[in-house]
Chain A
């Protein structure tokens, strides 16, 4: 089945710094998604991307759907303490095989 390689696995940054993480796949996806999971909670959808090359923002978060359709990037600008959590990418094919394939997550820690 499809696999997503998400990196980095973890990040420690200072408050106010910008953050970048990415996911790559050997398969082409038609939709890319980015979720955040707070401690003790389920993942919450942050951004959904539907077209190759698409760049979408949600507040301080910006995500891009790679031109090759095999990768996606998430950037967080001016990090704050509540950005702490695990960020997951997910890809989805179209057609009958519409399960989401998830990355293994990036654990983000923001230091004051």
Chain B
């Protein structure tokens, strides 16, 4: 595996479900990011981790809970989501926090019913 991988690629969940998104980077990077992408809107940065420590939380609702057990893995735990949370969730990594060159995974397409 190379680059940034994300699983699952597609997810349908009810508002009472609990699910997790997984991201893994094989680039030896130290910073990882979660973005939300909605149609015709700019990418919204949700969370940033630098050397496993959370450095940014852009006012994201608590129903989204990130976890970064090591520099290569990033999770986004989902609980009691709303239909408006349906979007493409992108993971990205960079060599260090603040480096402009971010490498993105293919995303998880989430549908909340």
Contact = CB atoms under 8 A, between A and B. Distances in A.
Interface of A: 4, 9, 31, 33, 35, 40-45, 48, 88, 90, 92, 98-105
Identify the 4 closest CB pairs spanning chains A and B, nearest first. Answer: A42-B104, A98-B98, A102-B42, A102-B43
Contact of A33 (B56, B92, B100, B103): B100
B44 to A, nearest CB: 8
B42 A42 contact: no
A42 B106 CA distance: 4
Nearest to B3: A42
Contacts, number: 47
Interface of B: 4, 40-43, 45, 48, 56, 90, 92, 97-98, 100-107
Contacts of B102: 45, 100
Nearest to A92: B100
Contacts of B98: 98
A99 to B, nearest CB: 5
> A100, A104, A105: which has the most chain B beta carbons within 10 Å?
A100
Contact of A100 (B40, B100, B105): B100
Contacts of B45: 99-100
A22 to B, nearest CB: 15
Contacts of B43: 43, 88, 100, 102
A74 B4 CA distance: 26
A4 B104 CA distance: 20
Nearest to A30: B100
B106 A40 contact: yes
Nearest to A98: B98
